[in-house]
Amino acid sequence: MQKIKEKIILGIDPGTNVMGYGVILITGSTVKLLQFGVIHLSKYENHELKLKKIYERVSSIIDEFAPDHVALEAPFFGKNVQSMLKLGRAQGVAMAAALNRDIPITEYAPKKVKQSVTGNGNASKEQVAAMLKSILKFQDAPKLLDATDALAVALTHHYQGGNVQSSSKSWKAFLSDNPNRIK
- Which residues, at least 6 apart from 76, have a Cβ–Cβ distance to it below 8 Å? 109, 110
Active site residue 63: no
**Is 73 annotated as a binding-site member?**
yes
Which of 119, 117, 139, 158 has its CA nearest to residue 24? Answer: 158
Which of 55, 59, 155, 79 has its CA nearest to residue 112? Answer: 155
Active site residue 64: no
Which of 34, 27, 103 has its CA nearest to residue 65? Answer: 34
- Options 6, 48, 63, 73, the catalytic residue: 73
- Options 140, 146, 149, 177, the catalytic residue: 146
Active site residue 146: yes
- Options 6, 13, 45, 56, the catalytic residue: 13
List the binding residues for Mg(2+). 13, 73, 146
Give the residue numbers annotated as catalytic, written as ranges: 13, 73, 146
List the binding residues. 13, 73, 146
